[in-house]
Amino acid sequence: MRFLKYIAIVGLSLGLHSCESYLDVGVPKDEVAAGLAFSDDKAATASVTGVYSRMNQLNYQFANVLSMVLPAMEADEFAYAAQYAAYDEFKANAVLPSNQFLATLWSEPYQYIAQANMCIEGLEKATSLSPEVKSQLIGEAKFLRAFCYFYLVNNFGGVPLVLNTNVDENNFKNRSPEAEVYTAIIEDLKDAKSKLLDGYPNGVAVNANGQRIRPNKGAATALLARAYLYTKKWDLAEIEATEVITNPLYKLMPTADMNNVFLKNSDEAIWQIQAVNVSGGRNTWEGFLIVPANIVTGTPLFRLIPNHLYNAFEAGDQRHENWVGMITTAAGVTHKYPYKYKVRFGVTPTVEYTMVLRLGEQYLIRAEARYNQKKYNLAQDDINDIRERSGLTALSLGNADAAVREAIEQERRVELFAEWGHRWYDLRRWPSVSGEADKTRADDILPALKPTWKSSAIYLPIPSDAAAFNPNL
């Protein structure tokens, strides 16, 4: 495998093959020649939006099921019911550098980064684009680059920071420290936020409900809030999350509509990835993989772990009633499985898109940011907004630091399960409640579930092919 050289060579051509449904204008059916990629608004738009189609075209990709099931198995959410070595390594937190899925978690984000770099450089040099389109597309490319680096740094720790198309320079780059990667993520998101539209670039105006499949200013703001939270910039995380929460384009679904949260164009959606491979009435790859063929008598292969997420929901929590599937076998054993996406196949037209960023997370980002600034009552307000939407009673914890912290962890656990690794990234970023230096929340929780747990498992190894090609890794 050519770690970056191969990616850089093919990246642009891969990015230029786009699906028409991402655009209001017709896009070329064939790949656009690199020299024409930024010659006019239509070609430039196709060059950038092609990456979204590639992100969700096939199953078992970084941008769909792998970023759902692998970190969930690394944490304490659910596990695969059969033996499968590639999954078992993640379940045991003993991933080998040769793992096929590990290679995908590494290589695909770098492919999209290479495409984004080429688009940024091409767009900045372009002279025949309308200013509005040029600004929006640069913002989208920088958002995508930041998005990919966010997952690379949270999976692998320090990674090579590739911000241009210089192949010779990039092929043998050293790993940059995590702090440096986060600095680049935040700078990209700040710049993207300044360039992206308030509404959605496919003709959707603020306050109108429509396709949310290309990033807008709200998407950049939401991911920036998360990046500030992860880097402990509590005041800035609160500011950015508040901006999203008060944006009239987004609203929490009421309790009666909990099953509508993950539908395409949901009011809670900030950014979704459109279903582009819908053969046989398939909607999302997540639903196709997780939902049993028969939800009455079938056997789910991905099952919530007993004594962990299986039992984590309070009585009356509508998230459990609406987002957890249950099947009881003839022997009387009840299996639970993630059921946020309802469609396995056979549903046309498409009703579900892959949810990437949504409003519920922003309330919990702000709650955690406020808690860390000792704004206990305000943090509880955010927690209670999520709880009351879920059919639960409000909490009244006063200034009890530990109780508020525990409430934030609980709400993040049951609100964001089976979504983009939130639980796993929380366990690895939060310090141990023991106060022991260099220990994380993962060290508190996972040893009881995983007898071979090691603290170093919060990082994945570099894939063997990448390390063999670039000895500096």
Give pLDDT tens digits for 281-325: 999 999 999 999 998 888 999 999 999 999 999 999 999 999 999
Clarify whether residues 165 and 305 are in a common domain: no
Which range in 21-25, 55-59, 241-245 is most confidently predicted, on average pLDDT? 241-245
259 and 399 belong to one structural domain: yes
pLDDT digits (tens, 9 = 90+) for 84-127: 999 999 999 999 999 999 999 999 999 999 999 999 999 999 99
Is 111 inside a domain boundary?
yes
| Domain match, 244 and 334 both | yes
Contacts of 257 (CB under 8 A, 6+ apart): none
| Residue ranges making up the domain that contains 26 | 5-67+95-195
pLDDT of residue 218 exceeding 70? yes
Stated length of the chain: 473
Verify that 188 and 287 share a domain, yes or no.
Answer: no
Using pLDDT thresholds of 50, 70 and 90, give the confidence band for residue 202. confident
Q: Is the pLDDT of residue 468 over 90?
A: yes
- Residue 462 falls within a domain, yes or no? no
Q: Do 273 and 133 sit in the same domain of this protein? A: no
How many folded domains does the chain comprise?
Answer: 2
Cα separation of 195 and 62, whole Å? 26
Same-domain pairing of 105 and 56: yes
pLDDT tens-digit series, residues 38-62: 999 999 999 999 999 899 999 999 9
- Whether 383 is in a domain gets the answer yes
Choose the final residue of a domain: 195, 229, 263: 195
Residue 251, domain member (yes or no) = yes
Here the CATH number for the domain that contains residue 121 is 1.25.40.890
Burial of 30 (0-12, 13-18, 19+ CB in 10 A): exposed
What pLDDT is recorded for position 330?
Answer: 86
Residue 85 burial (CB < 10 Å; 0-12/13-18/19+)?
exposed
**436, part of any domain:** no
| pLDDT tens readout for residues 273-288 | 999 999 999 999 999 9
Q: Are residues 278 and 353 in the same domain?
A: yes
pLDDT at 37 (0 to 100):
87
Domain of residue 256, CATH code: 1.25.40.390
Torsion 186-187-190-192 (CA) sign: negative
How far apart, in whole angstroms, are the C-alpha atoms of residue 308 and residue 293? 25
d(CA 450, CA 459): 16
> 458 lies in a domain?
no
Q: What is the mean pLDDT of the chain?
A: 91
Same domain for 149 and 247?
no
Question: Which of the pair, 202 or 221, is modelled with greater confidence?
Answer: 221
Residue 444 inside a domain? The answer is no
Asked which of 374, 404, 419 is the last residue of a domain, the reply is 419
287 and 141 together in one domain? no
**From the DSSP assignment, how many helices (H) and strands (E) are in the chain?**
18, 6
How confident is the model at residue 203, as a pLDDT? Answer: 53
Q: Is residue 404 domain-shared with residue 368, that is, in the same domain?
A: yes
The two tokens of residue 384 are 């209670």
Residue 19 lies in a domain: yes
62, 166: one domain: yes
pLDDT for residue 35 = 57
Instruction: Please identify, among 372, 392, 419, the residue that sits at the C-terminal boundary of a domain.
Output: 419
Q: Are 394 and 256 within one domain?
A: yes
Neighbouring residues of 469: CB distance < 8 A, sequence distance ≥ 6: 1, 2, 3, 171
> Residue 450: pLDDT above 60?
yes
Least trusted range by pLDDT, from 65-69, 200-204, 390-394, 441-445: 200-204
- Name which of 19-28, 195-204, 365-374, 421-430 the model is least confident about: 19-28
Distance CA 63, CA 356 (A): 9
Please name the residues in contact with 307: beta carbons below 8 A apart, sequence gap of 6 or more: none
What pLDDT does 27 receive?
33
pLDDT of 152 strictly over 90: yes
Any residues with CB less than 8 A from the CB of 33 and at least 6 apart, and which? none
